[in-house]
Amino acid sequence: MAWTNPRTWITNEFVTSAILNTHVRDNMLFLKSNPLIAVTTATTNQDATGTQATAIALNNIAIPADVGAVYVEAWALSVGYLNPPGGGNFFSWSFEIVMTSTVLHSYSGSVYASSNTDANGAYPYYARSTDQDWAGSTRSVSLRITGTNCTARASASGASPIKLRIVRAY
């Protein structure tokens, strides 16, 4: 089943079941069955210490011309920090969904470490960008992580991988 450009309706038009099936039912079924454009996963932890690192990426993804708007989703079992400094130092971490150099979504935190015994932290992570008008183009997106004075980690396991995907917006 393929997408059919919706018709322009006119006043007093006689609407048949065939017209409704083609322009309403079939297009809704197409959208329901084709939401995912691209996905990638990582099943091991991804770390960054002191620098920016790409945890996971989708490169050179062709977005169909008839797709309309899309959004980018990323999730991990958890995101957080390891090995924070002690002795009254600040440390920070960030997680960003980026397209080339454009940040589509970001999550960051900063903590004051009062001693060497401050615990590591981890938080469940899900992020979704705003809708992007990328129809008919080729895009590369990534989940980028940064740790400053600590290790930033996007955690994964075999059952709960880090995922990055481009999805058709409804």
> What CA–CA distances, in Å, run from 55 to 46, 82, 98, 128, 139?
5, 16, 11, 16, 17
Please give the Cα distance from 46 to 142 (Å, whole number). 13
pTM for this one?
Answer: 0.66
pLDDT of residue 17: 93
User: Of 61 and 49, which is predicted with more confidence?
Assistant: 61
Higher pLDDT, 160 or 112: 160
DSSP 66: T
Distance CA(163)–CA(40), nearest Å, equals: 6
- Under a CB-based contact definition with an 8 Å cutoff, are residues 132 and 104 in contact? yes
Taken in order of first residue, the domains within the chain and their CATH numbers are 35-168 (2.60.120.760)
**89-99, strands of its sheet edge to edge:** 52-62, 138-148, 89-99, 102-113
pLDDT at 165: 84
Is the pLDDT assigned to residue 76 strictly greater than 70? yes
- Residue 21 DSSP one-character state: I
Each residue's pLDDT tens digit, 108-158: 777 666 554 444 566 667 788 888 888 888 989 888 888 777 777 777 776
Average pLDDT, the chain: 78
